[in-house]
Amino acid sequence: MENKTIAYTARSVFTGTNMLQHHAVVVNHGFIESVLPMVSVPKGIRIHDFGEAVIAPPFVDLQLYGAAGRLLSEFPDSSTLDAIVEEGRKGGTAYSLPTVATHSYDVIFRCIDAVRSYCNEGKKGILGLHVEGPWINKLKRGAHVENLIFTPSIEQVQELLNYGGDVIRMITLAPELCSREIIALIRSHNIVVSAGHSNATYQQANEGFAAGVEVVTHLYNAMSGLLHREPGLVGASFEHEVARASIIPDGFHVDFAAVRIAKKIMGERLFVITDAVTDTSTGPYRHEREGDKFVANGVLSGSALTMVKAVYNLVNHADIPLSEALRMCSLYPARLLNMVDHKMLLKAGYAAEFVVLDEDLSLSAFL
């Protein structure tokens, strides 16, 4: 019988925690048998050598809105989710959390239906749904549609959770507008609560963290900034010991120096999202591409970032070591959704999923 075991080798193997030199990832029937030095690979095993490259776990993107001209809120169906998965893989992303921005419940419900159906069909790559708004602060709405934003009652929150609590994995809200009871109710459904599009004071932000807010959505963007007399949501995020934050390292949403500063302060609490949108000509969100970013009604609305480009930017523009840049795009977001259990690490017994990056940090393979 033919031996199906393959040893994938490269100059470097990043396990998700450590960078190993001249090692091999030994794979059999979709699972990793071992990670060991090249010289220790048993004879008779087929070797696939990627040369001067890095083998690493694939990426996880917890905020993006569509792909290939299909915005999820406009086209809430399997074709859109297929496009998100396919486009994501081109940038090294294995798992995505599609996001619906501020919309009516009718639109959000249709997005929930699409994701639920997709997952029930056994398709892979979609983790659930991220609902960003409509429970946000109009003063920090960014490109969100103002007349769709509202402060919810317990009953309105319960209505959404009754319909989609099994599909929604994250909700972004303004903690200064949502009570402790609302935050606790959301958390009781094992949904991650993130503070974003918020004008919270430093005190309000910390009250939100104490109530159960775990994350901050796209740090710096659409939130109260760090000022010397009012540290705001940014200051509270910097100071907190466990609260995490996503960031968009495209050079447009956040200056790379600000990325570097946040990283020095927050360490492992900072992770990457692409916040990627796609061209749209219908609906309330008319995203138009301008170079490497998107605008809607003249307002910066989303990125054209991929995860592999994010790794490149972190290393080359924010002076973050490659191993840590990879963790920010893979391990740290995976931890947030409790995914690091037999996947997202290169170690024996885990799923054999990984990306291969060339010396210039471009994606050369996705397995």
Catalytic residues: 275
CA distance 244 to 366: 28
- The secondary structure of residue 153, as a DSSP letter, is P
| Of residues 14, 31, 62, the one with CA closest to residue 334 | 62
Question: In sequence order, what are the beta bridge partners of 9?
Answer: 24, 49
* Burial label, 25 (beta-carbon count in 10 A; 0-12, 13-18, 19+): buried
| Of residues 213, 211, 206, 208, the one with CA closest to residue 238 | 206
The residue behind tokens 């809120």 is 73
- The secondary structure of residue 37, as a DSSP letter, is E
282-292 burial: b if 16+ Cβ within 10 Å, else e:
eebbbbeeeee
CA distance 289 to 33: 44
The residue behind tokens 């599909």 is 167
**Is 130 within any annotated ligand binding site?**
no
**Is 89 within any annotated ligand binding site?**
no
Residue 90, both tokens: 């081109």
**Is 367 within any annotated ligand binding site?**
no
Residue 363, both tokens: 């994606």
**Is 222 within any annotated ligand binding site?**
yes
Alpha helices in 121-255 (DSSP H): 154-164, 180-187, 202-211, 232-239
**Is 253 within any annotated ligand binding site?**
yes
Instruction: Identify the three-state secondary structure at position 56.
Output: strand
| Of residues 135, 139, 157, the one with CA closest to residue 148 | 135
**Is 302 within any annotated ligand binding site?**
yes
**Is 221 within any annotated ligand binding site?**
yes
**Is 218 within any annotated ligand binding site?**
yes
Q: How far is CA 366 from CA 2, 22, 169, 346, 355, in A?
A: 24, 19, 26, 14, 5
**Is 364 within any annotated ligand binding site?**
no
CA distance 349 to 356: 20
**Is 197 within any annotated ligand binding site?**
yes
Q: Residues within the annotated binding site?
A: 132, 143, 197, 218, 221-222, 229, 253, 300-302
Annotated binding-site residue numbers for Zn(2+):
132, 197, 218
